[in-house]
Each structure stands twice: as C-alpha cells, then as structure tokens.
Amino acid sequence: MTASEAEMALAVKDAEIARLRSLIDRDRTGLAQALVLCLGVVRSYGWMASEEGEWGCYGWDERTEKAFREEVDRAFDEIATTATDALRESGRRAFEAFHPDLAKRK
C-alpha cells in the first residue's frame, strides 16, 4: 500500500468515525427529549403524592382507591408509550446508520 492509498483509507475511516459520532449525538438528543417528556408526565401526576391530600378535580366522593389506581395506570401508560416511541426511533436511526443500503429501500 502506498502512502497516498494509506492516507485515502485513513480519510475514509475518519469520515465513518465522524458519521457515527454524529449519529450518537443525534440519538442522545432524541433520548434526552424523551426523558424530558417522561419527566413532564411524572410532574403532571405530581398531585397524587401531594402532602396536602389534594386530588385535583376529584370530589370527596370520587377519591377512591380505584380512581387512584386508574390515574397511576394512565401515568405509567403515558411513560411507557413515550419511552417505547423513543427507543423505536433510536433503533431506526441506528439501523439506518449501520445499514444505509437497506434503509434506502424502505
């Protein structure tokens, strides 16, 4: 291998490293956004842990264990949906990065 061929091979590898680092940065950004969304869901249900016993729009006669469990279930569903969507998008970006020829076919 000549010096110019080695330089060319090194440049190709450097370009691939830069591309993959860019992918990691985009993925971190996407996953960070998903965590922010999850945090927003948790905060929106913060009234459930209120020390003042505040139940938002629930009247006294509606403050039951069943109602509380349903609210917790909704909160967990929102978090699970947000996390699932973010992980799916992360996987799509990774697939496209490592298999650009297959990703273009879709």
Q: What is the DSSP letter of 63?
A: -
| C-alpha neighbours within 13 Å on the C-beta side of residue 6 | 3
pLDDT at 100: 79
Chain center to CA of 94:
13
Q: What is the CA radius of gyration of the chain?
A: 24
| Whole-angstrom distance, CA of residue 81 vs CA of residue 89 | 12
pLDDT at 14: 93
In the block, tokens 């006294």 appear at 60
| Whole-angstrom distance, CA of residue 56 vs CA of residue 71 | 11
Residues of the chain with pLDDT under 70: 105-106
- Report pTM: 0.67
